Structure 1
C-alpha cells in the first residue's frame, strides 16, 4: 500500500518540527527513518499516520487523501505502533492484541491473536496480565497487536501499512532480529513498513531504503549503502570514523568502538 507525503510542514508556533518534507513509500518495501534525537522522526510518523494534521502539505494512502478516510477505514489499512504504549490497567495479553482486531472472540479472531503472538515469540502468554511483563515483552505484545490488526484489514483491502516508532528499542538481541524478520515477512506478503530506528546496524540489515531526517528536514534518501556513510554520520550525528563494509554487495555496518565526536 503506497504512502505519500507531499510538502509536509508541522510547526509549533514559529518553530518548524517538520520543514517541507516530501516522500513516498512503496508497497513491498521496508523503509527505515533515522536521525538524531529531536530530528522530527516521531512527529513525521504521526503525521503520515493521520494522527496529527500538518500545517501545510498532504498525506495520501493508496492514492486517497488520508483526511478523507474514516477512522474505521484507516484502521483496516494502516497500523501504528507508538514509541511509548504503556498499558496501566490489568488487561490480559490477548485482550491487548484483540484491541487491534476489534469484535468479539470468534474462532477467527482468536486464531489471528494466536498467530500474532507466536510470531513475536509470546505463544502461551495469552492470559498473562500485561502489567506483569517486562518492558521488552510488552513491546512485543504491541507489535503483535499491529500484526493482528493488519491481518484483519488484509482480508478486505489487501496487505497494509505498518508504521513503527522504535519497535526494537527495548528488545534483546534475539528479539530485535525476530521483529526485523517479521517486518521483512510482512513486505514479502505485499505489505509496507515505515519504521523509526535508532540502531543503524539493524536499519542496514532490514531496510530496502533509509530516509535520514535532521532538524525537521530530509537530508538523505536511498539504499543503506548510499545513506549510511562516514559523511552522513559526521554531518547528521556528529561522529566520525565508524562505518565499515561487508564483502559484496558491500552492506554498511557501524562500529561504535571506532566512533569519536566530530
Structure 2
C-alpha cells in the first residue's frame, strides 16, 4: 500500500483507533459549526455584555487569560509527563514528545507574556477545549508508542517534519506578536491587523499552525496524528472563515476585500 511508504501501520488498539476517528469527526464538526456561525464562545466571539444571559451563566465565565491558560496547561503536562512514563525511547519518539510539549509550552508562554486580553469566556468552553487538546495529545503519544512495534515506513520524514514544525511555530508566534502590538495598554477596541501576511489573510497565525501540525504529522508518521492534523485544518478553516466574516461586519467598508481567511488568494 502507498500509505506504508510514509506511515506506520495502524496499531491494533481499539482505544487509539476509536479516539483517532472521534477526534477527526469532532474537529470537522467544530469547523463546520464555526463556518455556519455557531462559534465557540471565546475571544471576539464571546459576548461578555449580553444582557440576555442569566446571572448564573454569567457566574460561569472566566477572564480570557485564565481561560486560555486552562486550554493548554493539561496537554502540556501530558507531554511533559510522557518523558517519564516512556523513558529510553528511540529518537523519533523523543522528537514527537518534544514537539508536542514545546507546542503547548509556547502557547502557555504566549498567554502569560504576549497576548492582550479584553474580555471573558465561558467556563464550559474552556473545559471542553482543554479536554479536546489533552485527549488528542495523549492519544497521539500512545499511538506513537504502540507504533514502535510496527514495521517502519519506507521513507522517514522526521527531519523534513521538524523543519516544517519550526517554520510553523515561528510564523505562528510572529503573527501572534503582531496581534499583541495592535492594542496599547488599556485599549480594548479591536483593530484590523497590519503587517506580516495580514495583507493576504486575516488569520496567518492559523495558516502557520496548519504548517506546524503538518510538520508534527511528518515527524510522527502515524494515521492517528494525520487524522488530528486533518481535523485541525477543517477547524481552523472554519474559525478563520468566521473571523473574516466578523471583521467584515465590524469594519464595514474598511476591511480589504482581497484579504482571504487562511489561504492566500484562495480561501
User: Structure 1 length normalisation: TM-score?
Assistant: 0.31
Q: Which has the higher helix share?
A: 2
Which structure has more RCO (C-alpha within 8 Å, separation ≥ 6)?
2
Q: Which has the higher strand share?
A: 1
